[in-house]
A and B are shown apart, each in its own frame.
Chain A
Amino acid sequence: MAKKTYIEAIRETQSAEMQRDPDVFIAGEDVGVMGSAFGQTAGLLKEFGMQRVVDTPISESAIIGLGVGAAAMGLRPILVIDFIDFMAVCMDEVLNQASKLRYMLGGQVKIPLVIRSQIGAGIGAAAQHSQSLEAFFTHMPGMKTVAAATPADVKGLLTAAIRDDNPVLFIEHKTLARFEGEVPENDYVIPFGKADIKRAGSDVTIVSWSAMVHKCLAAAESLSKEGIDAEVIDIRSLIPLDRECILNSVGKTGKLVIVHEAVETSGYGAEIAAMVADQGFDLLDAPIKRVAAPFTPVPFSPVLEKEWVVNEEKIINAVKSLF
C-alpha cells in the first residue's frame, strides 16, 4: 500500500492499463500536452506518445463517436469529457450508439469504452459545471456507471472499467482531486456490482456514492456520539447495483437513508428506494429517507451553493427523524 491522491490514482491506473494492453488509448480535450486541467493525464503523452494520448479538437460528439468506432474494431478507448455537464452535447453517441449498438446488432459487436467525467458542486463553478448527472446514465440499458469515492476505489474501479467489454461511465468528483488514501500495489480490480461497507453499524443504513460518502462518514461519527450507530454503504457501482448488500444491511438496521448530491427528483436514490420498498418492505421499520439537493440548478453564489449542497447536518437530521 502507498498513500496517493485521487488524481494520482487516476493517472497511474491509466498508465498501468496502457502498459498492460497496447489497445488502450486516451482521447479528449487537453489530455496530452496539458495533462488535463486537474492533471489526471499528466505525463501520459510523454510515456505513450501521440498515437495513444490524443489531444482532440473541442468536438465531443466526434470524441465519443471515435471511441464507439474504435471500440467496435477492438480497441479499448478511454474518452475524457472533463465535466459531466458537457456530456449533454454528445448524448446521441452515448445513448443511441455506445449503449445499444451491441443489442441492436444482435450481439455482433462489443463496445469496450470508458468515459471519464467529473460531477459535483462546491467550487463555485455554477450551473453548467457543477451538476451530478449520474442518474441519466443509469437509464440506459447497455451502459454501466461507477463512481469512486477514494483513491483505492479509483484504482479498482477504473481498472475494472478499462477491462470491461461494455461502455462504462467512470465518474470522478471534482472536490476529491487532492483527497489522499492508501492504494493497493499491483493488480487491483474491484468487480462491478460490489458495494463497500465503509463503516459498519447496526442502527441505520446510509447508502451513498462518490464524494457524499465522506459526508455520510462524518455524519455517522457525529451520530455515534449521540448513540446512533450508522452503517455507511458506498455502492460504488450504480449499474450494476449490489442489491444484496443494501438489503442485508437494511435487514439488520430496519432503517434506510439514501444520500446523494444530485437533485432529489428522479435521482438515483429513487431507484434504490423503489428497489428496497419492493424487495425489502418487510425489513423496514421506518419510511425510507432521501437526502439530496433541491430541485433547482446549482447556484453560483458561494452562500447559495453552500446551502444547496447536501451537508452533514442534513444527513444527521434525516437519520434522527427516523428514531
Chain B
Amino acid sequence: MNLTKDQMLNLYETMVKIREFEEKAKELMLGGKLAGFLHLYCGEEAIAAGVCANLNDKDCITSTHRGHGHIIAKGGDINRMMAELHGKATGYCKGKSGSMHIADLDIGIVGANGIVGAGLPIAVGVAFALRYKKMDNVVVAFFGDGASNRGTFHEALNMASVLNLPVVFICENNHFGMSTPQSVHQKIKDISVRGTAYDIPGKTVDGNDVLAVHEAAAEAIGRARKGGGPSLIECKTWRHYGHFIGDPEPYKDPEEQKKWLATDPIPRFAKYLIESNYAIQADLDAIKNSVREKIEAAVRYAQSSPDPLPEDIYSDVYAG
C-alpha cells in the first residue's frame, strides 16, 4: 500500500509523541511526581503507530500494562493521560486507574490492563458485539510475548477462530516477559506459528519497521473488516528500558541491547523519510518541537488539575 506524505509524517509524529510522552513520564516518576508502576513503551513505538494508523474511531483496541503507546496511537488525549498518571480528577479515569488501566471508550480504547493476557478474551467479546450490531469495525488486541503463554491467549484465539470474529491479535515480542527471556519461556522462536493451531493466519514482521508493521496490519485488518476472521501478527521488537522503572535489568545482555538500540524505530524511520524525500531534517525537528510543547502543556494541565475528592472513592462502583 502506498502511503501519502501526510500519512508518513503522521506515523512519524505518533512515534515521536509516544517516545516523548514516555521520556517525560520517566522523568516525572524518577522525580517522585508519580505513584505506582510505570512500564515504558520506548523502543516499541512503530507497532502501536503502524497498527493504529489503520483504525478509525469506531474500531477498538485492548491494551496492556505497557499501554501508553497504544492509547496515544489510537488518538488518546495526552492531557487526560498525563492527568491520570498524576491521579487527578481530570484524568481519563478520574484518578481511579493510574498508568495501567487507561481507557477512552469514545474512541474505541476499551482499556489497558494490569493482568497479563486479560485483554485478549475481552477483545473477542468486543468483536462479538461489533458483529452482533452489524458494524464493519474491527478490534485489535495488543499483548506481549510473555502473555502468549497464558491460557487466555489460547482460548481467545480459538474462540475468535471458531466464531470467525474480526479480531487482529498483535503480539509485541520484545523478547522478555519481565526478566525471563523468550528462549526460557517458550521453545518456539516465532509466536506467529501459534496461529496455525487455531487455523488463523499468522505472520511475523520486523516490529521496529513502522512501514512493515503498517502493511501487515493493513492486510489483517482489511480481511477482518470484510468478514475474513481473525489474524495473528507477531512484531519483533525490544524495550529500551527495564520492565518497569526501577528494574535494574540484570538479565539483559549489553551486546544485545546495543544491537537493538541501533534498530531504534524512530531514527530509522527518520532516515527513511529524509532519504526518500518525504521530509528534510528541519521538518522532523519541527514535529519533535511541537510534540514536546504539547507534552509540556499536558504536564502543566495535569499538575494544575484538582485532586479527586475523598468521597469519589465511592463513585462508579455500580452503574445506575
Write the residues of chain A forming the contact surface with B, with a CB cutoff of 8 angstroms: 29-30, 33-34, 37, 55-61, 85-86, 88-89, 123-129, 294-297, 299-305, 307-308
Contacts and interface: CB of A to CB of B under 8 A. Distances in A.
Nearest to B312: A304
B74 to A, nearest CB: 21
Contact of B307 (A57, A301, A308): A301
A300 B152 CA distance: 26
B149 interface: yes
A37 B251 CA distance: 12
A60 B153 CA distance: 13
Given A301-B96, A303-B95, A295 B180 contact: no
Given A29-B177, A89-B115, A301-B96, A296 B314 contact: yes
Contacts of B213: none
Contact of A308 (B87, B98, B313): B313
13 contacts: A29-B180, A30-B178, A30-B179, A34-B178, A34-B251, A57-B186, A58-B117, A58-B185, A128-B113, A129-B114, A297-B96, A300-B98, A301-B307
Contacts of A30: 178-180
Given A128-B101, A294-B313, A303 B151 contact: no
A196 B100 CA distance: 38
Contacts of B250: 33-34
Interface string B295-320: 00000000000011010111001000
A316 B17 CA distance: 49
User: What class of interface size applies to chain B in its complex with A?
Assistant: 35 or more
Contact of B179 (A33, A59, A85, A302): A33
Contact of A304 (B87, B147, B180): B87
Contacts of A123: 35-36
B88 interface: yes
Given A124-B34, A124-B36, A307-B310, 9 more contacts: A29-B177, A34-B178, A37-B178, A55-B180, A60-B150, A61-B151, A89-B150, A125-B98, A126-B100
B184 interface: yes
Contact of B87 (A60, A124, A295): A124
Interface of B: 34-37, 87-88, 93, 95-98, 100-101, 113-117, 146-147, 149-152, 177-180, 184-186, 247, 250-251, 307-308, 310, 312-314, 317
Residue of A34, A60, A307 with most partner-chain B CB within 10 A: A34
A128 B115 contact: yes
Contacts of A128: 100-101, 113-115
A58 B317 contact: no
Nearest to A83: B114
A33 B251 contact: yes
Given A29-B177, A297-B317, A304 B114 contact: no
Contact of B308 (A125, A294, A303): A303
A276 to B, nearest CB: 29
* 8 nearest CB pairs, A to B: A124-B35, A301-B87, A301-B95, A124-B36, A34-B179, A128-B114, A300-B98, A57-B149
Nearest to A122: B35
B100 A303 contact: no
B95 A55 contact: no
Given A124-B36, A125-B37, A128-B114, A59 B101 contact: no
B115 to A, nearest CB: 6
B113 to A, nearest CB: 8
Given A33-B251, A303-B307, A303-B308, A58 B97 contact: no
A57 B178 CA distance: 10
Contacts of A85: 114-115
A45 to B, nearest CB: 11
B313 A299 contact: yes
Contact of B313 (A59, A86, A126, A307): A307
A299 B156 CA distance: 29
A86 B36 CA distance: 17
Contacts of B308: 299, 301, 303-304
Contacts of A86: 115
B98 A59 contact: no
Contacts of A297: 96, 317
Contacts of A305: 35
Contact of A58 (B93, B177, B251, B312): B177
A303 to B, nearest CB: 4
Contacts of B117: 58, 89
Given A126-B114, A294-B314, A300 B96 contact: yes
Contact of A127 (B96, B151, B184, B310): B96
B314 A300 contact: no
A58 B88 contact: no
Nearest to B87: A301
B262 to A, nearest CB: 25
A34 B117 CA distance: 21
Contacts of B35: 123-124, 300, 302, 305
A304 B96 CA distance: 8
Nearest to B35: A124
Contacts of B115: 85-86, 88-89, 128
